[in-house]
């Protein structure tokens, strides 16, 4: 090998070594880039997992917004009028009139606490018992249907006279279970489906102009308020024939001057007695959740006992429907103040009653009387009238019952837990003193409980040790 060849080889080796070094540096650089990319990929995966979890959560929340209502009353109303439009009446005027009518229907639905579901053209759909479950929704919906029919009749009579009416109304109503899907955030809307919806629609389809048709299910729930006539049967797939009734109006005894249109005070009281079930459910649920755990006597059972007893004694003493409603409502709230404080709980109960009852159409005068009845239960009892005497006797009904000893022991445990009483012997002495000075005020309680009460005194005296 010549010198020139040797130099050339050295140069080539040096060049290759330099290229190799450059490649190694590139590899290191690429490795760093790869590590960086892997780190970013990990972050993206983490974000993706979070987003996927959020989507799953959102999907779950959407699924949770589908609610089941076991008793809702669905109303379908079909407004007819386009076929009888007079010549020269432009379409804009027609739609304006229809909008006026539908706007009033919305107002009526709101008045009766009924949820508007949707309007499709001249078809109006709403439902009672949604979203707030209640027992009065069949009556509410039928009252709304009557108001809609009366409004349309009055509207047409005022605008065109009775003979030249354009608009007519057909209504179908059915009560049963529905599934409601909730949508919207700022303005919540409900879409309902199920056999109840389909049946209400079919009832409307066979209804005649100017009539309100209801299913037998709705009829059974409203028949004590409304005059209804049997209309016929509707074939229902897999269920046989469905009986239908036409609502003529309110019964005379429940309408002003017997007009069949305007509910009177008797209607309001009868309705209130049914609605009481909804109020009772709310208050008992509140007591279950909010009463202190040491209330072994002043618990839900005691409230239910007093509500039951005021009705029993009230009817026996000849009370009216309104007086029974006032008594039951006062009994329901008389110990509800324990959710606020043990002492002065009667007063706290009246505060709760004044806050809640106006929403259930109790008049200010009725609420005042209810609060007076509640305050009458403050010991020692000093009733000023029959209703106060009834609740006082009902509140201390256990004094003359056969289960007096176990019930009184729960009151002792309640007081002991708050350091308001000493030994059981001290309690028994206090009981003898209290029962000996106690008297029932109503003839009913005196005949039912007074004899047993004297026996209780003897039983407790035998337990006292000096």
Q: What is the CATH number of domain 268-463?
A: 1.10.3210.10
Distance CA 48, CA 308 (A): 60
Contact 199, 174 (CB under 8 A): yes
Dihedral pair phi/psi, residue 69, rounded to 5°: -120, 120
Nearest to 173 by CA among 203, 143, 132: 203
Q: Is the peptide bond before 380 cis (omega within 30 degrees of 0)?
A: yes
Please state the pTM of the whole predicted model: 0.80
Distance CA 327, CA 314 (A): 8
Task: Decide if pLDDT at 184 tops 80.
Answer: no
Largest CA distance in the chain: 142
**Looking at residue 63, what is its pLDDT?**
46
Query: pLDDT by residue (tens digit) across 80-112?
Result: 765 555 555 667 777 888 889 999 999 999 999
Contact 256, 264 (CB under 8 A): yes
Query: pLDDT by residue (tens digit) across 272-318?
Result: 999 999 999 999 999 999 999 999 999 999 999 999 999 999 999 99
**Looking at residue 49, what is its pLDDT?**
62
DSSP 409-446: HHHHHHHHHTT----HHHHHHHHHHHHHH----SHHHH
Query: pLDDT by residue (tens digit) across 418-429?
Result: 999 999 899 999
Q: Which residue has the tokens 């002792």?
A: 412
H-run or E-run covering 251 = none
Q: Quote the DSSP letter at residue 396.
A: T
Task: Decide if pLDDT at 131 tops 50.
Answer: yes
Tell me the average pLDDT across 247-257.
95
Nearest to 327 by CA among 390, 271, 384: 390
Nearest to 218 by CA among 180, 191, 244, 249: 244
Which band of pLDDT confidence, cut at 50, 70 and 90, is reported for residue 47? low
The alpha carbon of residue 127 and the mean position of all alpha carbons in its chain are separated, in whole angstroms, by: 14
From the number of C-beta atoms within 10 Å of its C-beta (0-12, 13-18, 19+), residue 284 rates as: middle
Domain 66-262 of CATH type 3.40.630.30: no
Long-range contacts for 384-391 (Cβ within 8 Å, ≥24 apart)? 386/317, 386/319, 386/442, 387/314, 387/319, 387/323, 387/326, 387/327, 387/330, 389/441, 389/442, 390/310, 390/313, 390/314, 390/317, 390/319, 390/327, 390/442, 391/306, 391/310, 391/327, 391/330, 391/331, 391/334
Query: pLDDT by residue (tens digit) across 238-250?
Result: 778 999 999 999 9
List of residues 6+ apart from 292 with CB closer than 8 A: 338, 342
Tell me the average pLDDT across 210-218.
95
Distance CA 70, CA 234 (A): 22
Every domain of the chain and the residues it spans = 20-63, 66-262, 268-463
**Looking at residue 60, what is its pLDDT?**
46
Contact 363, 354 (CB under 8 A): no
Q: Quote the DSSP letter at residue 106.
A: H
Q: Which residue has the tokens 């005196």?
A: 446
């Amino acid at each position: 090998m010549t010198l020139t060849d040797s130099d050339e080889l050295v140069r080539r080796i040096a060049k290759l070594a330099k290229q190799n070094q450059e490649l190694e540096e590139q590899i290191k650089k690429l490795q760093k880039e790869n590590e960086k990319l892997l780190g970013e990929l990990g972050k993206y995966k983490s974000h993706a997992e979070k987003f996927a979890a959020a989507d799953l959560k959102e999907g779950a929340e959407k699924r949770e917004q589908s609610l089941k209502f076991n008793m809702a009353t669905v109303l379908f109303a079909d407004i007819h009028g386009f076929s009888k439009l007079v010549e020269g009446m432009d379409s804009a005027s027609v739609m304006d009139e229809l909008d006026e009518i539908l706007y009033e229907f919305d107002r009526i639905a709101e008045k009766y606490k009924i949820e508007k579901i949707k309007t499709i053209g001249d078809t109006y759909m709403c439902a009672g018992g949604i979203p707030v479950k209640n027992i009065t929704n069949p009556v509410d919906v039928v009252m709304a249907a009557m108001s809609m029919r009366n409004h349309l009749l009055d509207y047409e009579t005022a605008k065109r006279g009775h003979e030249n009416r354009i608009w007519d109304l057909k209504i179908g109503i059915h009560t049963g279970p529905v599934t409601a899907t909730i949508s919207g955030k700022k303005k919540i809307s409900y879409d309902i489906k199920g056999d109840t919806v389909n049946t209400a629609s079919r009832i409307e389809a066979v209804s005649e102009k100017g009539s309100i048709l209801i299913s037998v299910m709705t009829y059974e729930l409203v028949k004590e308020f409304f005059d209804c006539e049997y209309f016929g049967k509707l074939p229902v797939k897999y269920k046989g024939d469905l009986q239908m009734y036409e609502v003529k109006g309110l019964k005379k005894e429940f309408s002003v001057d017997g007009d069949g249109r305007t509910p009177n005070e008797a209607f309001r009281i009868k309705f209130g007695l049914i609605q009481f079930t909804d109020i009772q459910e709310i208050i008992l649920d509140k007591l279950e959740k909010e009463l202190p755990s040491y209330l072994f006597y002043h618990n839900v059972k005691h409230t239910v006992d007093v509500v039951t007893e005021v009705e029993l004694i009230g009817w026996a003493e000849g009370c009216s429907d309104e007086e029974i409603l006032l008594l039951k409502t006062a009994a329901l709230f008389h110990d509800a103040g324990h959710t606020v404080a043990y002492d002065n709980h009667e007063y706290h109960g009246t505060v709760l009653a004044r806050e809640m009852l106006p929403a259930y159409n109790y008049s200010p005068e009725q609420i005042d009387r209810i609060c007076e009845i509640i305050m009458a239960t403050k010991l020692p009892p000093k009733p000023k009238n029959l209703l106060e005497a009834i609740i006082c006797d009902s509140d201390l009904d256990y004094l003359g019952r056969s289960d007096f000893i176990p019930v009184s022991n729960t009151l002792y445990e309640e007081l002991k837990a708050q350091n308001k009483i000493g030994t059981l012997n001290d309690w028994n002495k206090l009981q003898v003193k209290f029962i000996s000075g106690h008297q029932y005020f109503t003839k009913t309680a005196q005949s039912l409980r007074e004899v047993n009460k004297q026996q209780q005194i003897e039983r407790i005296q035998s337990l006292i040790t000096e």
